[in-house]
Chain A
Amino acid sequence: MENPVVIKGNKHGITVFLDAKLDFGTLKELVAEKFRDSSKFLGEAPVILGFEGRPLLPEQEVEILDIINANCNLKVVMIDDHDAEREERYKKQLDEVLMEIDRAQGAFYKGNLRSGQEVFFESSVVVLGDVHPGASVISKGNVIILGSLKGQVAAGAYENENAFVFATDMSPVMIQIAGIRARCSDEQGKNGNKGMKLAFLEEGRICLEPLSKKIWNDIRL
């Protein structure tokens, strides 16, 4: 083989091709050199690492991992061992890791959301402005609107049942939490369900309540 150590990118991370004939000691040195050289290029993203071209003993795998960790800034989240089912599970876990990072950062949106506009957030979001009829906010976490909510909101999309929606003026067309929808009743639509309110999921139904100490006690983040 011309190049005993080759790094290739794939959908969820990188695959390292190792020469099968080289002795393990030389190979380790070559891996160290390769990752040191490409450290800048690889960056510091969380990745799934896979090995190909040479069967590795568990101890050898750990050794090579240590070398990789020592020589570049990649965050190896897990090792890929070519099992489709397991790969699917890893992918999901990687998504969760990414979301965790987003969640820690939080998001802000400044400005009015007008009819026809749609925004999507991986994290909880604070909207500084109004959500007009025909506009929609979709978030994997909570949605807090410092303004009036007259459009649509989907919080905890699509499975976070602890997500809530808060607006300083709550008169939405529709609220969705963890995939469960509630539409404002026709009468409320006319009179407006005005005021500061919190929407949350309770026993499979969406409840709208004014703020109180009891409500905050029930909220789980």
Chain B
Amino acid sequence: MGEVIVITSGKGGVGKTTTTANVGTGLAKLEKKVVLIDTDIGLRNLDVVMGLENRIVFNLVDVIEGTCRIKQALIKDKRYPNLYLLPAAQTKDKTSVTPEQMKKLCDELRDEFEYILMDCPAGIEQGFQNAIAGADRAIVVTTPEVSAVRDADRIIGLLEAHEMKQTHLLVNRLRTDMVKRGDMMSSDDVVEVLAIDLIGVVPDDENIVISTNQGEPLVGNDTMAGKAFMNICHRLVGDDVPYLDLNVKKGIFSKLFSKN
């Protein structure tokens, strides 16, 4: 019986889609059968980040309206045998789907997949309600900025009101140098404010921009962000892994040797 995990944040631009793409790919690398659902109808981009944009024929709204079967709309990622994507419609809007329909869709996918990841749109309106309707767990993504943390707080409150069984916190785009100077909240500060369990911290890493542009998630490779996302996947499946040491010591030697 599969588990439905919604990735949400409230505020836009904090890394929900990047997280969905990387966590989904990471879980597939751990040989789990995974489907990613883009619920951001009208502003889809999970397919772009995954590099699967050209292969879209049918979408989420087609499945819900019964224009096609679920199997027809699922895009299989050729790089990973266990990874599928259900893209959002681009020509419709969030009101073309109801929370009840999303719940039904999730329940149908549970038999087939071990993990169903929902990429939630920004905001707390219909799109958010649709995305959380069928979810068992939630990952709340935030950056260490007061505005993002404030929105995360609101989202956690709404998830609690919705009786979400488990809510995890992911702190994204942390800059250790700024934290050390006292110019940025540390992950501990964010956890203290929001008072929920931390599932991982992802450092601000320019490799993310490169990987997003190339449509190739970086999870599991040698970059700091890649390692951080892989650790999050391990924690999601229940492994106990220590938190990464995000202090990159860029001495003169590491600079010289990193060019090989």
Contact = CB atoms under 8 A, between A and B. Distances in A.
A133 B195 contact: no
Contacts, number: 27
B195 A134 contact: no
A183 interface: no
Interface residues on A, range: 10 to 19
Contacts of A114: 153-154, 156-157, 160
Given A111-B160, A115-B157, 8 more contacts: A114-B157, A114-B160, A115-B150, A115-B151, A116-B157, A133-B153, A134-B150, A134-B153
Interface in A80-129: 111-117
B195 A116 contact: no
Contacts of A132: 153, 193
21 contacts: A112-B195, A113-B157, A114-B153, A114-B156, A114-B157, A114-B160, A115-B150, A115-B151, A115-B153, A115-B157, A116-B154, A116-B157, A116-B158, A117-B161, A130-B195, A132-B153, A132-B193, A134-B150, A134-B153, A134-B154, A135-B157
A113 B151 CA distance: 14
Interface of B: 150-151, 153-154, 156-158, 160-161, 193, 195
Contacts of B157: 113-117, 135
A90 B203 CA distance: 65
Contacts of A115: 150-151, 153-154, 157
Nearest to A133: B150
A111 to B, nearest CB: 8
A132 B190 CA distance: 13
A135 B150 CA distance: 11
A133 B153 CA distance: 9
Contacts of A117: 157, 161
A117 B158 CA distance: 9
Nearest to B154: A115
